[in-house]
Structure 1
């Protein structure tokens, strides 16, 4: 499926900003269009329909991925992992369930991102020096033979590798943590299911489709406002900036003195400029 769904925009080519621009320009699907495409893919194996489902929801992956910007990992890589999750979700999506694709896909997108973060973030934070990286691999090999370290063994390793004793114990603890499936099957024991990451990494109380809609609309309004501001004449733009955007806002009389007109004329220019901005946003929306 992944080969057939090769995307026209790729994080490995061009710039990251050009990718984001291309994603924002992808048309969104109505619920009826989405259902029709999903049925074509499920019932007839129509890969072009699956491709359109993926492309129309790439912006949602970007929206989810931005929530993981604090881990110190490359955002393009996080988004790429989320895209893989989206494609997996499209493959498993059932249009007869009655939910939008983004509501279903959020689990698969986050699962791929979580796996990437878990695999990459911990070692980045601990093994930041050459000695610590050497400790990671040597300690892993040593523990396979002897299990947990004694106090004397830990001190000897710390001395040999020139690292703090606390670093040895910290690395040992990390190596001792076993992997847990993101979403354990329902037949697993209740104790194991309770610690599955999907119970504590998921976001509660928000519909993914609604979050995407709000975030996308906010960005659209910002673009419209920026474009409308660029079309104002220099004087009107300066008046709005001085009255609304400056840290120390100018009064009508101060601006009247600056442009050698009456305060009433400044007020009229300000109102006209505001009317143009409102009209641009409302009409384009």
Structure 2
């Protein structure tokens, strides 16, 4: 997927980069002092000075991800969000330079943005998949250099899978994703045609006509069943409802206890009721069992 900034955006990005490079570098004591003032007293000017001084870090890291084809300005904006998060969470008492701490937040923000926008197909969400996405090209290039430019084979893929601790199938799948490009379903097929790719997709769902027919058939069959059930006596209707028309029919033994008769007697009554229904329903449909599926004893 390719993204290109318009001229105005490119000009604005260039101005931001130049301004970032002009910001003075902070000494260790100065950045710790600014961080403490913001953390302990909510000093916003201190926060702004700390953040401005490290926007050059954001610009530098955005350059490392330029090969993914996303707008540099968007990468910088996402990196600035990560920089702000780092500034709000930085603990100067841990005796770590802010640049070291902020780098992780900036890189993470940019990587999340790339994964969301690099392709319309979601690439991966787990830590292992993210690591595979951002390291596959580098490892593939290294293996290619070691093998005098040969294409990545099964041995190379297994080596990458072992190094990144991911299944071989994940490496194969990610390699296919990185080598493919997204295409619009509205793109025309052929240079002179007016058909779009989406015109050739097969719909898995029933058509509106099929849905309408199925609905009418369902209503009609329900009507036939109700008519047939009305011809049974009350005990026969009760047995059929409990044994055949419930999602989980009751057993013969359970129904026998409820009716005060033996299990065998319930079986006989059910058999007789089913014979009556089959005769009544068969006048309308070929397979009465479609309405009255066989139950379990």
Compute the TM-score of the two structures, normalised by the length of structure 2: 0.40
Compute the TM-score of the two structures, normalised by the length of structure 1: 0.42
CA radius of gyration, larger in: 2
Structure number with greater CO (CA < 8 Å, separation at least 6) is 1
